[in-house]
Amino acid sequence: MALDIQKVFNNERDVWDISLAGDVDIVSSVELKDNVNVLLDRDEKSIQINCEHLSYIDSTGLGVLISLLKRVKKNGNEIEITNAQPNISKLLKITGLDKIFIMK
């Protein structure tokens, strides 16, 4: 399944709201990284990633999330992951990434 990325700046919360649907894999992870880096080049802010419709993420996708977190943390910002499906939550827990991302 392809990756659909919806992105908008939330003025009330002063964060980038990003919704992911589909799969983040070795092919689509490049698209995710490029899209988010363009946003951060415009305005370096915290990111909220809604994973309600994300069905799969592989190690390259996790690597992208980690590299984005490193970038935003340089300016005191965070990445919050919300509405993760059980398989995504389990993967984040197994890898210990649930301790470095804000999980809601």
What's the structural domain count of the chain? 1
- The set of residues, in sequence order, having a beta carbon less than 8 Å from that of 35 and lying 6+ positions away, is 5, 7
What tens digit of pLDDT does each residue of 13-54 get? 999 999 999 999 999 999 999 999 999 999 999 999 999 999
Residue 73: both structure tokens together: 């943390």
The answer on pLDDT for 1 being more than 90 is no
Beta strands in 11-98 (DSSP E): 15-24, 46-57, 79-82
Q: What is the pLDDT of residue 60?
A: 97
**The pTM is what?**
0.94
How far, in Å, CA of 43 to CA of 86, rounded?
32
What pLDDT was estimated at residue 18? 98
Neighbours of 6 (CB within 10 A): 11
Domain region containing 96: 3-103
- Kind and range of the H or E run holding 10: strand 3-10
pLDDT tens, position by position, 72-104: 999 999 999 999 999 999 999 999 999 999 999
CATH number for the domain including 56? Answer: 3.30.750.24
- The closest alpha carbon to 70, from 101, 92, 34, belongs to 101
